[in-house]
Amino acid sequence: MSNFKLRINNLIEEKKMSKSAFAKSLGKGPNGLDSVIVRGSVPNADLLTKIIEVYPEVNPVWLLTGQGEMFLPIEERSGLESRVKELEMYSRQLNRNYDQLYGLLEGYKKRLEKLENKLNT
């Protein structure tokens, strides 16, 4: 068993999840992680990033190297959680700004169409 395969299986066991539930939690199909979990393939950066995003309590150093504890100490987790909340808030604000700008753009397009129609008549 590859070291990474062992770590992922240990994480799934520690989380008390089935392999398919863990895969689904990462946006994969029920067998979406078989290459890593069953066959021991090396995961890509996107998968590693997704694991850390979905499970911020997982120690990224442990996940990548096997060194250290599986989970971050509580004090480190709270810092990550507050940062994630801050980024989520920022993302919501950006979405609101986008929606406002998109609405303005649509209004300008309609006004431009009206002006073009007046010019063409």
Domain ranges of the chain: 3-65, 73-121
Q: Which amino acid is located at 22 in the chain? A: F
Determine the pLDDT at residue 110.
93
Whether CATH 1.10.260 fits 3-65? yes
Ranges of the chain whose pLDDT falls below 50: 1
Determine the pLDDT at residue 27.
93
Determine the pLDDT at residue 32.
83
Beta bridge partners of 71: 58
Determine the pLDDT at residue 76.
65
Determine the pLDDT at residue 77.
62
Determine the pLDDT at residue 94.
80
- Report which of 49, 52, 55 is spatially closest to residue 16, judged by C-alpha positions: 55
Determine the pLDDT at residue 1.
41
Determine the pLDDT at residue 9.
93
